[in-house]
Structures are given as C-alpha cells and as structure tokens.
Amino acid sequence: MKERIMCEGIAAELEGIDLGDKRLNKRSQKLIEALAANSETSINSACDGWGDTIAAYRFFDNRAVDPDEILKPHIEATKRRMREHPLVLVLQDTTEADYTLHPPDDARCLNTEDRFGLYDHTHLAATPDGLSLGVVGVEYFDRAAESLGAAQERRNLPIEEKESFRWLQGYRLASQLARDCPETHVVSVADREADIYDIFVESAKSSESVDFIIRAKVVRSTPERDADSGPAVYRKVRDEVSASELRATRTLELRSTPKRKARKAELEVRAIQVTVKPPHARSHLPSVTYNVVLVDEVNGPADGTDVSWLLITTLPIDRVEDILRVVDYYVARWTIEVFFRVFKTGCRVEEIQLEKLSRLKNCLAFYKIIAWRIMYLTYMNRECPSLPCDAVFDDCEWMSVWRVVTKKELPETPPTLSEFMALLTRLGGYNNRAKELPPGPQPIWVGIRRMTDFAIAWLEFGPGVQTTCV
C-alpha cells in the first residue's frame, strides 16, 4: 500500500530499468519510493518492516546492481525533458561526501589521511531559469594515502591519468547530449576547476563541439608579439579585457553563502575575443581563440567576497544582450549548488552506513534522483502556482494534509499548487509570512516526509474506507 502514495512520479524515473532480473527491477522501484518518502531517515526507518529492510541491503549488495544502470532510465527521462526546451545548461561540479565517522571497509582518503569518503562529480541538466531537468551523469573518485601531497608529480601525468580529466569527460558528455537532443541547444557550464586547456583544444578542433562557459582560474597569456623584431612581448588575458571598453552593467542579487551575506551587487561587464597560447609545459598544443567576459563588482564590500569573474566562452558576444546572456547562464550554475545541498543535507547521504563502497554508490544513485525530485517540486511551486495540486500529488496526499493542517472540510475542487504547498511546507516549519520568500527545498522535503504518514492513515482509515471492529 505504501508505494501507492510515495512522492508521486518518482518511481516513473526508473521505468524500463534493466538489472537482468524482473525481481530486481521491481525492487528498485519499491525502494526508491520508500527512500523518497523518508529522505531524512535511515534506510531501516524508510523501509516498511524488517523484511523490506533486509531486501534493501541485499539489493545494494547484489552484483547485478550498478549505479550506472540505476541512473540509466532517469537519464533517458531527463533527455526527454531536455528535448522540450530550446536551450539547456549542463552543469558540472564536484562535492565531498565525507564518511570519516563511519567509513566503508574499502574507503580511501579525501584531502588528508584522516578523512575518508568520496569525491562526487555530478552533471545536472537545467534550464537557464533554474528548472532542474535531471541528473545526466555521476562519477566518484577518491585518493590513495600515498598520493596525498604529490600534486607537483601529478602535473606531468597525461590528462587521462589526472583528476582533472573528469572535466574534459563532462564536456564530452555535454557534446553527446547535444547529439542525442539535436533540436536543443546544449551549453556546458562549469566553475574554475574546469579551466583546463584540453577542453579549449578539443572544442576548437571538433565540428560537433558544444558551447561552453567556464570561469577562468589559470593565468593565461596571448601569443608572443613582435618576436622577430625584438624582445618577445605577450599580455595577460585579464589585462587585455580589463583595458577594453565597458559593454554593459548589471544588478545582481547575490545569495548568501558560508563566506558572504546576501546582497545586491552592481556589476560592470566587458567582453572581447582573445587568442591564448598553450601552457609552457605543453607548447606542442596549438593556440586557441575564444571569447572572454569580465564581470567586476563596483563599490563592493572589499572583504574578499567582491564579484570578479573572468568567463571563458564560445557563445557570441557581439551584442550587449549576448554578453549579458553569458553572465546569466553562469549565474544559473547556482542550481547545482542547491542540488548538492539538497542531496547532502536534505537526504543526509553522509549519514548512510554501508560496509562496502559498491553498496554505498548503489544507494547514492537513488538519492540523486530523489534530490532532483525535491528540487523539481520546489520549482513547480514557484513557477506554476496556479496548477491544480492533484496534477502533482495524489488525492490521499493533498486531502490528508488539508484536513490535518486546516482542520476544515475538503473543498469541492483541489486547491492550487501554491495553496497546497503553503500547507505542506507548514508541516516542514515554514511560516508563510507575507514578506518571506517562497519556501525552499528544506521545508518541502520535511513536509513530504510528514505527508506520507498522513496519506497512509488516510488510505487505511479515511472517508469511504470500510473498517470492521472486532
């Protein structure tokens, strides 16, 4: 019964899953429904009894189960959603999953010998206005204790043997998605770690490359000038664009982070095309040409949090609206930061205790989909408030919440999504005061967890249910 009411639509993300056994396929859908309905609790608490708990652990331990196979139907569903949009951003970023307090038996290091866990590199498809369409790729890596402190030695390794290779693979993934969704303009977006020369070379030489936006990290220079007539002269890219004319201004609402308070930033934007030379150690590579957009905050707080972004892109910068579009697409990268917060804090994935990394990765694949679903509901509430709530939630869900929160009789027609989410998020601690922003993911996932219990009771004891007293 429980699976009938858990997070409507989540099981559909695994439709068509093929783990080589019909029983495993069925178990995967039942398991994701249970975990989605209880995303803040342990696996034991999420499962319906000891039998289901044992079945869940056996599922994670089954050799036929693989995180890539778990995610495959969700990725296909994400592609279908991508095809409905003219432009989609493929965001990639890395976060830590820290299991130091309860490491799996085969866990390795993070950045020090006494910290254990995984680095989680995720690729998320999203629209420029923040609608998360789904996870399109995940890669995990860790470090052997003996490799720590050997960054200098790793610099001379082939790109395929470096940790930074994941960023090139992410760019290639975006290119593949563009081929799979030919009517959708795909743009790869990444932060400073993705500033590796190999991406620029690959983009320049490939006829099937996708556009990208990467925030610069490496100090790069233009090719040498007048090398035959005197001393070699070259210039730093940032200096070149800083000296160019002001192209636009923009006011940006900066969200709060652990390092800064939320504030309104006044920005100056410049943009030019540059040709850059390869790194000294890789002088055999060709020079590449791309566009750069420099975003600098005016009269910032001067506390180390001032905005200063040098954005590398293949998108056009001919018109002011083109330049500002690059800035907006980069700002949309915040969507994956929110995704990680929901994944780690909302779903509490760092509290999972499993004996083997293989089991842990299988479990994390489910929570990737669950975190996406929570973000999707958050967006729907903000952007489609007039949608009838029964388009998203089952009758037993919205009716039970309505009765518990309002203490009133059911309305003749289902409330709007906005009206219902106001009730649901009250269960999650959101006060819904007049000047408050719309609820974020946290009160939504807490509300969903409590809603599940109410919906179960509604199906068992609600109106129209025939009960027999003995």
| Residue 205 Cα distances to 201, 227, 468, angstroms | 6, 26, 74
- Burial of 150 (C-beta count, 10 Å sphere; 0-12/13-18/19+): exposed
Distance CA 92, CA 119 (A): 13
Over residues 192-216, the pLDDT tens digits come to 999 999 999 999 988 778 999 999 9
CATH fold, domain 384-461, is Transferase Inhibitor Protein From Tn5; Chain A, domain2 (1.10.740)
pLDDT value at 119 more than 90: yes
Contacts 24+ apart (CB under 8 A), 425-430: 427/401, 427/451
How many Å apart are CA 402 and CA 425, to the nearest integer? 12
Is residue 247 within 8 A of residue 323, CB to CB? The reply is yes
Nearest to 217 by CA among 174, 164, 255, 264: 164
- Structure-model confidence comparison of residues 87 and 393, the more confident one: 87
* 371 Cβ contact partners less than 8 Å away, ≥ 6 residues apart: 339, 342, 343, 346, 347
Give the integer Cα–Cα distance in Å for 454 and 393.
13
- Look at residue 256 and tell me whether its pLDDT is greater than 70: yes
Give residue 36's pLDDT: 82
% of the chain exceeding 70 in pLDDT: 91
Residue 417 has pLDDT above 60, yes or no: yes
Side chain identity at residue 52, one-letter code = D
pTM (two decimals): 0.86
Do 293 and 271 form a contact (C-beta atoms < 8 A)?
yes
Per-residue confidence band for 311, with pLDDT thresholds at 50, 70 and 90: very high
Residue 2, pLDDT score: 34
269, 254, 92, 66: which is closest to 164 by C-alpha? 92
Sequence-separated (6 or more) residues with CB below 8 Å from residue 328: 128
Instruction: Tell me the three state secondary structure of residue 13.
Output: helix
Tokens, residue 246: 């002001």
Of residues 124 and 152, more confidently modeled: 124
**φ, ψ dihedrals at 255, nearest 5°:** -75, 155
Angle ∠(60,397,7) on CA atoms, nearest 5: 25
Which helix (H) or strand (E) element contains residue 267? strand 263-276
The pLDDT of residue 27: 93
412: phi then psi, degrees, rounded to nearest 5: -65, -35
- Give the residue among 469, 412, 450, 464 at the shortest CA–CA distance from 5: 450
Domain spans, the chain: 1-191+333-378, 384-461
Predicted confidence at residue 232, as pLDDT, reads 59
Q: With contact defined as beta carbons under 8 Å apart, do 447 and 426 qualify?
A: yes
- Outline where 221-356 has alpha helix (H): 237-242, 320-331, 334-341
pLDDT tens digit sequence for 46-105: 787 788 889 999 999 999 999 999 999 999 999 999 999 999 999 999 999 999 999 999
Which residues are registered as beta bridge partners of 446?
none
3-state SS of the chain: helix, strand, coil percent to 5? 45, 20, 35
Distance CA 184, CA 180 (A): 9
Q: What is the pLDDT of residue 231?
A: 55
Q: Which secondary structure element, helix H or strand E, spans residue 296, and what is its range?
A: strand 288-297
For strands 211-215 and 185-190, give the pairing: parallel
Short-list 20, 31, 22, 99, CA closest to 59: 31
Q: Quick: pLDDT tens for 137-152.
A: 999 999 888 777 666 6
Q: Counting every residue, how long is the chain?
A: 470
Spatial CA neighbour of 129 closest among 356, 326, 329, 285: 329
pLDDT at 304 over 50: yes
Name the residue with tokens 């269960």.
Answer: 427
Stretch 114-143: mean pLDDT: 94
Helices (H), 157-305: 165-180, 197-205, 237-242
